[in-house]
């Protein structure tokens, strides 16, 4: 058995959960925050049998889209002065960041 930890953009989360559920995958949704943009994103926990791994990855790849987002990165105006001001930086946020873990044991009580 595998556990997928999929970090996706909030815009894709509802559609992705629906698509996964309709194909019989179990999903847990967590409200999370990206460390770089400090913006909300969604993390899904998906526990699956090994034989369904490719199917789940396919659904994630199909539903989730990359988008450009603007981040406010701090910059130092005067070196040594300790004064920082934000300036906009454009970054491409991925459709999904997916970690695949092997599950040692799975039980439901």
C-alpha atoms less than 13 angstroms from C-alpha of 90 in its C-beta half-sphere: 3
Beta strands in the chain (DSSP E): 2-8, 26-33, 40-48, 67-78, 83-93, 96-102
Q: Which of 24, 78, 88, 92 binds ligand 2BA (CB under 6 A)?
A: 92
Site string for ligand 2BA, 18-57 (x = CB under 6 A): ----------------xxxx-x-x----------------
Where does this chain touch ligand 2BA (CB under 6 A) — which range of 50-58, 74-82, 86-94, 100-108?
Answer: 86-94
CA distances (Å), origin 63, targets 28, 41, 108: 17, 15, 29
Q: Would you tell me which residues interact with ligand 2BA (CB under 6 A)?
A: 7, 34-37, 39, 41, 91-94, 97
């Amino acid at each position: 058995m595998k556990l997928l930890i999929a970090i996706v953009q909030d815009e894709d989360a509802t559609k992705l959960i629906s698509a996964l559920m309709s194909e019989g995958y179990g999903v847990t949704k967590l409200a999370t925050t990206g460390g770089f943009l400090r913006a909300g994103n969604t993390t899904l926990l998906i526990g699956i049998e090994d034989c369904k791994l490719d199917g789940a990855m396919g659904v994630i790849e199909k539903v989730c889209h990359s988008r450009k987002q603007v981040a406010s990165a701090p910059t130092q105006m005067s070196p040594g002065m300790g004064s920082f001001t934000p300036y906009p930086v454009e970054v491409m946020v991925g459709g999904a960041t997916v970690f695949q873990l092997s599950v040692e044991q799975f039980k439901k009580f």
